[in-house]
Chain A
Amino acid sequence: MKTLKWISVGACALAPAVAMGTTLETVQSRDSVRCGVNAAQPGFSSLDDNDTYRGLDTDVCRAIAAAALGDASKVDFVPLDSVERFTALQSGEVDVLSRTTTWTSSRDTTQGMHFTGVSYYDGQTFMVASDLGVQSAEELDGAAVCTQSGTTSELNLSDYFRIHDMSYDAVVFDSPEQSIAGFEAGRCDVLSSDASQLYAQRMQLADPNMAVVLPEIISKEPLGPAVRQGDDQWFNIVKWSLFAMLNAEELDVSSSNIDEHADSDNPDIARLLGQDGNFGEGMGLNADWAYQIIKQVGNYAEMFDRNVGADSNFKIARGLNALWRDGGIQYAPPIR
């Protein structure tokens, strides 16, 4: 095992060095972005009836393709397991990893990868049966809590209850399917997991309205796209693709009204859409890179609502993912 570890460390160190040509050149000559995604994560990346990947993570890939190639459909989605995702990125099998990956210091510093931003602020929370009338997690003293074994959820849970000086009974399951079945069968009063997963699990109940997700978030799980280290140009493209969507939301530019802004008086919009100055040049892109993202994929609000928010089956509130001016923490540096 130790040898294996050293081999993989060695290989990780080598991987960026052996990459030939820039990622952008590779992507342009291949005419598609290879994007590592989750094979099955409701709301983030899942296959619809027509063989198309839908979800927030996959829309991030489309935005990158729109910026780099001018066509959001030029994405090859590569479904990756949670173990092989880092290798796939390091070995160059994928150009970008957008697979509900939590940004942590160890991944950022030792896996040969760079996170480019946060596409979704996730965090652990609680779901309770609505007829219990519980409004806040602080009323959960003495509750039986269903959770999944071997996850950080289990540790966060015990920390949270200890800090708040409350007691609980843990009922541990192996998989999300089992834990929601246990919750539905009344094995526990509370189900605890990451918010994004809880909303998906809630959909699996016979009557989703029988349960509510509580507002408290007890852990930090910032999810975002990541690229290989050693190619700053590509790093910038992925980073600014997401920032462009956030800036567009802030300026109220969406896919439906973008063409009304063709000759905008607002200098911020003019800069975003490439009418004033060429801000794509520094990344090796066309001046209309952000226009293509917004026109073809939409701004951040559209992407969020379509996949996990108000227009989706999950109806997840924006919460932390709202713009900074609306009480959330999504904040993008300006384009200028």
Chain B
Amino acid sequence: MIHNQTMIDQRPAPSNTLGPMAWLRANLFSSPLNTLFTLVGLYILYLLVVPTIQWAFINADWIGTTRADCSREGACWVFVNARFTQFIYGLYPRSEIWRANIVFGGFFTLIAWLAIPRLPLKRWVAVFALVGFPVVAYVLLHGGYFDLPRVPTHRWGGLMLTLLLASVGMIGALPIGIVLALGRRSNMPIVKSFCVIFIEFWRGVPLITVLFMASVMLPLFLPSGISVDRLVRALIGLTLFQSAYMAEVIRGGLQAIPKGQEEAAAALGMTYWKRMGLIVLPQALKMMIPGIVNTFISLFKDTTLVMIIGLFDLLGIVQAALSDSNWLGFSLEGYVFAAFVFWIFCFSMSRYSQYLERKLNTGHKR
């Protein structure tokens, strides 16, 4: 006998277990103490955020070209606006900025090409980025060839210089670091001791000392008439310094690979370089992505130290602008702008490295 039963219609879950209200109740107001903390926390946030927004957006002045266009009730972004070209290109001659723009365009296109998985010809683009592009960038930025007027390096500056220092440092430090890390684990006594001494020396001195030595002492030792360009001195110092750090990060990765991997490769008759290049390094580098990116980010921020040897990186040019008598007293705006630009680059590097880790994850994650 079949009862003609009607099913009860589905009803939504009780409102106190679902939705934002429930989430609030569970996470923020679950007990009197939590409620108190939440309220105090909200109040502190209110105290911090409201004046910041008022300062940075609502009361801020955006349009104009001079100090007089600023009411000074909020931020004076007019300052950053008026100085924007200088912040990006330094003292690069205004009529030649198109050259820097081509380099900028090429730089970001190449990075995007290499970073977006769907695009083809990765290998060739990578080879061009590492070999061809630096030459093109040098010819364009420095000039002196193909009727391009020469732009001496002391006129380079701003974000352009920061990116240049950081990318040359990164591209240079990674291979040197790998070689040093392998050398330090080598059984050959001379190679090993050279690598150990090199790493321990560069890791033992502060970067600021390296730059000072390069800019203050080095010129005194060189014969008169021979002078190494300041930028080149800074680049060499920065690269060698970072390669020592990179070497230790990579050595950490090498040590984490079980010895069996290398022994198995050796048993298959692979030479040293094949064992390293095909078996050990790919695993070690993948595992050390967080450490490598960490070093890259710290390198990116360390580039601001070149200020002490008279090169105007982004922070240096902002500080120089702050001392213009027409713009005295806008240091907060200048520093906020510099911090924001640095944050954009460091944060993107960090996000990309997380994406890379997920992409390269082959299930061996420990």
Whether A19 is near chain B, meaning CB under 8 Å from some CB there, is: yes
Contact: B94 with A203, CB < 8 Å?
Answer: no
With contacts A15-B220, A91-B219 taken as known, whether A81 is within 8 angstroms of B308 at the C-beta atoms is yes
Kindly identify which residue among B212, B312, B322, B326 contacts A49, using a CB–CB cutoff of 8 Å. B326
With contacts A19-B224, A20-B225, A81-B309 taken as known, whether A42 is within 8 angstroms of B154 at the C-beta atoms is no
Whether A219 is near chain B, meaning CB under 8 Å from some CB there, is: no
Whether A217 is near chain B, meaning CB under 8 Å from some CB there, is: no
Determine the residue in chain B with the shortest Cβ distance to A40. Answer: B323
Whether A88 is near chain B, meaning CB under 8 Å from some CB there, is: yes
Contact: A314 with B325, CB < 8 Å?
Answer: yes
Task: Tell me which residues across on chain B come within 8 A of A54, comparing CB atoms.
Answer: 324-325
Contact: B310 with A46, CB < 8 Å?
Answer: no
Contact: A39 with B320, CB < 8 Å?
Answer: yes
Interface 9-mer from A60-68, A72-80, A133-141: A72-80
Report the contact-size class of chain A (Cβ under 8 Å from the partner): 35 or more
Contact: A40 with B322, CB < 8 Å?
Answer: yes
Whether B185 is near chain A, meaning CB under 8 Å from some CB there, is: no
Contact: A8 with B220, CB < 8 Å?
Answer: yes
Contact: A203 with B325, CB < 8 Å?
Answer: yes
Minimum C-beta distance from B268 to chain A (A): 54
With contacts A20-B225, A51-B94, A204-B329 taken as known, whether A78 is within 8 angstroms of B82 at the C-beta atoms is no
Contact: B224 with A20, CB < 8 Å?
Answer: yes
Whether A255 is near chain B, meaning CB under 8 Å from some CB there, is: no
Contact: B86 with A49, CB < 8 Å?
Answer: yes
Please report the C-alpha to C-alpha distance between residue A87 and residue B212 in the assembled complex, in whole angstroms.
11
Whether B316 is near chain A, meaning CB under 8 Å from some CB there, is: yes
Interface string of B319-363 (1 = CB under 8 A from A): 111111110110100000000000000000000000000000000
Contact: B216 with A87, CB < 8 Å?
Answer: yes
Determine the residue in chain A with the shortest Cβ distance to B311. Answer: A79
Please report the C-alpha to C-alpha distance between residue A61 and residue B38 in the assembled complex, in whole angstroms.
62
Whether A93 is near chain B, meaning CB under 8 Å from some CB there, is: yes
Whether B227 is near chain A, meaning CB under 8 Å from some CB there, is: yes
Whether B289 is near chain A, meaning CB under 8 Å from some CB there, is: no
Whether B221 is near chain A, meaning CB under 8 Å from some CB there, is: yes
Whether A18 is near chain B, meaning CB under 8 Å from some CB there, is: yes
Contact: B328 with A200, CB < 8 Å?
Answer: yes
Whether A236 is near chain B, meaning CB under 8 Å from some CB there, is: no
Q: For residues 21 through 49 of chain A, which have their beta carbon under 8 Å from a beta carbon of chain B?
A: 39-43, 46-49
Q: For residues 196 through 239 of chain B, which have their beta carbon under 8 Å from a beta carbon of chain A?
A: 212, 215-217, 219-225, 227
Task: Tell me which residues across on chain B come within 8 A of A49, comparing CB atoms.
Answer: 82-83, 86, 324, 326
Task: Tell me which residues across on chain A come within 8 A of B221, comparing CB atoms.
Answer: 11
Minimum C-beta distance from A94 to chain B (A): 10
Whether A117 is near chain B, meaning CB under 8 Å from some CB there, is: no
Determine the residue in chain A with the shortest Cβ distance to B90. Answer: A51
Whether A260 is near chain B, meaning CB under 8 Å from some CB there, is: no
Task: Tell me which residues across on chain A come within 8 A of B150, comparing CB atoms.
Answer: none
With contacts A39-B316, A51-B94, A203-B329 taken as known, whether A46 is within 8 angstroms of B323 at the C-beta atoms is yes
Contact: B86 with A203, CB < 8 Å?
Answer: no
Please report the C-alpha to C-alpha distance between residue A15 and residue B321 in the assembled complex, in whole angstroms.
34
Contact: A43 with B82, CB < 8 Å?
Answer: no
Determine the residue in chain A with the shortest Cβ distance to B91. Answer: A51
Kindly identify which residue among B219, B319, B324 contacts A88, using a CB–CB cutoff of 8 Å. B219
Minimum C-beta distance from A181 to chain B (A): 10
With contacts A48-B326, A49-B82 taken as known, whether A83 is within 8 angstroms of B212 at the C-beta atoms is yes
Contact: A84 with B86, CB < 8 Å?
Answer: no
Contact: A42 with B220, CB < 8 Å?
Answer: no
Please report the C-alpha to C-alpha distance between residue A209 and residue B309 in the assembled complex, in whole angstroms.
37
Contact: A79 with B312, CB < 8 Å?
Answer: yes
Determine the residue in chain A with the shortest Cβ distance to B86. Answer: A51
Please report the C-alpha to C-alpha distance between residue A92 and residue B223 in the assembled complex, in whole angstroms.
11
Contact: B154 with A76, CB < 8 Å?
Answer: yes
Please report the C-alpha to C-alpha distance between residue A81 and residue B308 in the assembled complex, in whole angstroms.
6
Contact: A84 with B324, CB < 8 Å?
Answer: no
Task: Tell me which residues across on chain B come within 8 A of A88, comparing CB atoms.
Answer: 219
Please report the C-alpha to C-alpha distance between residue A63 and residue B167 in the assembled complex, in whole angstroms.
40
Whether B274 is near chain A, meaning CB under 8 Å from some CB there, is: no
Contact: B216 with A203, CB < 8 Å?
Answer: no
Whether B25 is near chain A, meaning CB under 8 Å from some CB there, is: no
Contact: A84 with B72, CB < 8 Å?
Answer: no
Q: Which of A11, A50, A87, A205 has the most CB of B within 10 A?
A: A87
Whether A278 is near chain B, meaning CB under 8 Å from some CB there, is: no
Task: Tell me which residues across on chain A come within 8 A of B219, comparing CB atoms.
Answer: 87-88, 91-93
With contacts A11-B220, A205-B329 taken as known, whether A47 is within 8 angstroms of B82 at the C-beta atoms is no
Determine the residue in chain B with the shortest Cβ distance to A199. Answer: B325
Determine the residue in chain A with the shortest Cβ distance to B72. Answer: A206
Task: Tell me which residues across on chain A come within 8 A of B152, comparing CB atoms.
Answer: 76
Whether A312 is near chain B, meaning CB under 8 Å from some CB there, is: yes
Minimum C-beta distance from A179 to chain B (A): 13
Q: Which of A39, A87, A88, A206 has the most CB of B within 10 A?
A: A39
Contact: A18 with B223, CB < 8 Å?
Answer: yes
Kindly identify which residue among B72, B324, B329, B331 contacts A46, using a CB–CB cutoff of 8 Å. B324
Whether A90 is near chain B, meaning CB under 8 Å from some CB there, is: yes
Please report the C-alpha to C-alpha distance between residue A90 and residue B219 in the assembled complex, in whole angstroms.
9
With contacts A51-B86, A93-B227 taken as known, whether A40 is within 8 angstroms of B320 at the C-beta atoms is yes
Task: Tell me which residues across on chain B come within 8 A of A312, comparing CB atoms.
Answer: 325
9 of the cross-chain contacts (CB-CB < 8 Å) are A8-B217, A46-B325, A47-B320, A51-B94, A78-B310, A84-B212, A204-B329, A205-B329, A206-B72
**Residue positions of B touching A, CB distance < 8 A:** 72, 82-83, 86, 91, 94, 152, 154, 212, 215-217, 219-225, 227, 307-310, 312, 316-317, 319-326, 328-329, 331
With A84-B212, A206-B329 given, name 18 new contacts (CB 8 A). A18-B223, A39-B310, A41-B323, A42-B323, A43-B325, A46-B323, A46-B324, A47-B317, A47-B323, A91-B222, A91-B224, A92-B224, A93-B227, A200-B325, A203-B328, A205-B329, A206-B72, A314-B325
**Residue positions of A touching B, CB distance < 8 A:** 7-8, 11-12, 14-15, 18-20, 39-43, 46-51, 54, 76, 78-81, 83-84, 87-88, 90-93, 177, 200, 203-206, 312-314
What are the 6 tightest A-B residue pairs by CB atom distance, in nearest-first order?
A: A40-B323, A91-B219, A11-B220, A204-B329, A203-B328, A18-B224
